């Protein structure tokens, strides 16, 4: 249950950052690179939240 709550919190923060970066006036090639990096980061966040990426752990939220 804690993993699911942590994943939701990380995805909300990630979505807000992605939304804010979308407002930056970046040239087209740079924007494509940034989009690919964000997609890779999103995949890593989801995989590490469930332990599929063994070397990378997301910090746990303390309640």
In a domain, 23, yes or no: yes
Give the separation between CA 61 and CA 63, rounded to whole angstroms: 6
Mean pLDDT on 5-31? 88
Is the pLDDT score of 53 beyond 80?
Answer: no
pLDDT in tens, 34-48: 999 999 888 888 887
In a domain, 40, yes or no: yes
In a domain, 59, yes or no: no
In a domain, 34, yes or no: yes
Boundaries of domain holding 38: 2-49
Q: Residue 58 has what pLDDT?
A: 61
This prediction's pTM? 0.70
Give, in order, the Cα–Cα distances in Å from 22 to each of 25, 38, 50, 53, 57: 8, 11, 28, 28, 27
């Amino acid at each position: 249950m804690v993993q699911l709550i942590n994943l939701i919190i990380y995805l909300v923060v990630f979505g807000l950052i992605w939304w804010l970066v979308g407002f930056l006036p970046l040239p087209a090639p740079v924007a494509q690179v940034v989009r690919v990096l964000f997609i890779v980061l999103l995949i890593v966040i989801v995989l590490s939240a469930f332990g599929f990426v063994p070397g990378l752990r997301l910090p746990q939220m303390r309640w």
